[in-house]
Each structure stands twice: as structure tokens, then as C-alpha cells.
Amino acid sequence: VSTQSTWGSGHPLSEIEEKVRRLEDLYGNLVQGNKVDNKDTVKHAALPPPQIPSDSRWKASTVRSHKHGSRATIYIPTQKGKNIYKGQWASSMKEGYGEQVTEKTRYVGQWKNNLRDGEGTLWIRASSTSEWVRMYKGGWKEDLRHGVGCNWYPNGDVYEGYWADGKRCGIGKLYMANGDKIEGQWKNDKTEGWASLYLKNGDSFEGHWHNGLREGPGVWYYTSKEQIYRGEWHLGVAKCGYVQDIPRKVTNNKSHFIPRVTLLETDKVLQQTHQKLQNDRKLLGTLLNETFEMEPSIEEGDITHHNTEGWYNSMDEHIEERIEAVY
């Protein structure tokens, strides 16, 4: 069995890859003659003792009958079929560490107030006879993905990063099944702010995104053509900018050299086009009841107003540094 995959370097391991790695570690230790410690490392949470009332005997009996502490397998009645839980309880609610299995889902991890909360792993399957497939491993809050976690999608994509209320939010990386990768800021499950797209063929885009589309300033690095495009995007489409050959380009084997032709008033044309884009964004923002006024910081990706000369200067400096380092 090989641990190689179709994703790019640095991707999170699949469940099969993790199993292979564990086998390699296990048998590697045996070959070297070292002792293998295969003990269960699960640590149960410390639960408070149940509060036993002292005023009435029937109240005390009721409390003692409630589920509290570590319990063996319990079958929970439900109209949706199989529902089994084994783990810790507190006052008849799942609390601490436990495993719950239903017809199509399996969760192992931490609980709070009867909800998945803390660190845990979720598996799914299509039917009761199908094999379990790991879907998510990471943080939870009130039964939703929250904090840092890794999600394996049915289409082969893998996301590793921050979550909020069950959605991708914050800094994260999306490894796509076709070999491409998106790395940067996310909000409401979509790229939002500063993010970079790396294609499998070596080309890449670096710039600002809004609602999952390229929006605002950005740069396409065409490694396959040895060219660079700097400009403005709106709704995912390049609207204005210019193309240049990279400094080390010496032949036209990958693409023809860009002709040395310029407009009479280049800055004025770009400024007018840029202003039109701003007006279009404001109009669209009014119709959708949202704002397109953003200014990403290259280092931090803060979302504010991006139409400032100072930001463009810092962006140009960043581009030149990357060109010098990569090309």
C-alpha cells in the first residue's frame, strides 16, 4: 500500500494514509526490537459528583437513577433507527468523552450539554452495510464545526483551517482533488479577503476575493507562459490591468514577447476604468444590501477599503519581491 495521493504537498493525510503510517511505525519498531506501547490513550473528563438531595428519599432515588459518570453501551430510543451511545454522562446528558453511532453517522470525541463540543471526529456512510468514511476531525461547539479542523469532502477535496458555526471562516487551505489549492481567508464557507490560488500546472493567482469570487486588485503569475497580469477583478472577471513578461524571459518558446506598445494616457485610462468599477460595486452592493468597500493587507489580509495609492504601492513592492524570489 502506498501513501502517495493526488493532492499537492503538505496536504492532510487521508484515513487510509494515516493507517499505513501507523503500520509503518508499528512494524518499524518491531524490526528494531523496541517495545511497542499500544495502550489506549483516551483520557476521560473529570465529572463532578451528582448532587444528592437530603430532604426527600424519593428525590434522592430519582437522582441516583439518572445517568451520571462513565456508562456502558446505551441504546437510545429514536424513530430514525439505530442510536447507540457509550461514554460519559452528567445529569442524564452526554458530557465529557463518548462515542455515538447512528445508522449513517459515527462520532467519537467530547460532549457538553448533550451536544458535540470540544475535539472530536465524525464518520459517515451511505447505508448500514457501507464502510465508514471519515468526514471531519477537529473542534466542535454546540454541535457545529468550530475552531481548527480538517474536513474531507465526498468529491475528494480537503479543507484544513478555521471554522465558525459550522462554516469555513478565518485562515484555511483547500486542497482540491484536481491538484489545485486555495490558501487564505474564508468567511461563510467562501473565500473572502486576501487569498492565493495555486494551479497544478504552476500558475497562480494572488489577490482579493469577495463571496468566493476574485474581486478587487490581484495578480496572475503565468509560469507556463512566463508572463504576469496585474489588474482589477470584478465578479471573478479581469476588468482592467496590464500584462508583462517576467524579467528572466529570454525566448518566445512559451509565449510571444509582449509588444512595447503603450497608450497615450495609460494612467488616466486605468483610473477611469477603476472608477467605473467602483461605481459598479457600489450599485451592486446597494442591490444586494452588502458592501464591496474592502482593503486587504498583503501580510494580514484585513478587510477594509482597498482603493488607496499607498496600498497599490505596497502591493507592487510585494509583487516585485515575489518575482525576484521565484523567477
DSSP notation for 80-149: TS-EEEEEEEETTEEEEEEEEEESSEEEEEEEETTEEEEEEEEEE-SSTTSPPEEEEEEEEETTEEEEEE
pLDDT of residue 3: 43
DSSP structural state of residue 36: P
Helix (H, G, I), strand (E, B) or coil at 187: strand
* pLDDT digit string (tens) for the chain, length 327 residues: 444 455 556 678 777 777 777 776 766 655 454 444 444 444 566 666 666 556 555 455 444 545 666 666 676 666 667 889 998 888 788 999 999 999 999 999 999 999 999 999 999 999 888 999 999 999 999 999 999 999 999 999 999 999 999 999 999 999 999 999 999 999 999 999 999 999 999 999 999 999 999 988 899 998 888 888 888 888 898 888 878 877 777 677 777 766 665 666 666 666 776 677 777 767 766 666 666 555 443 333 333 333 445 555 565 666 667 666 665
User: How many angstroms separate the Cα of 207 from the Cα of each of 50, 52, 191, 204, 291?
Assistant: 56, 61, 11, 10, 18
pLDDT of residue 9: 62
* Rounded Cα distance, 59 and 11, in Å: 55
Residue whose grid cell is 444586494: 288
pLDDT of residue 261: 59
Residue 233 sits at φ, ψ, to 5 deg, of -115, 150
pLDDT of residue 90: 85
Q: Retrieve residue 274's grid coordinates.
A: 477603476
| pTM of the shown model | 0.71
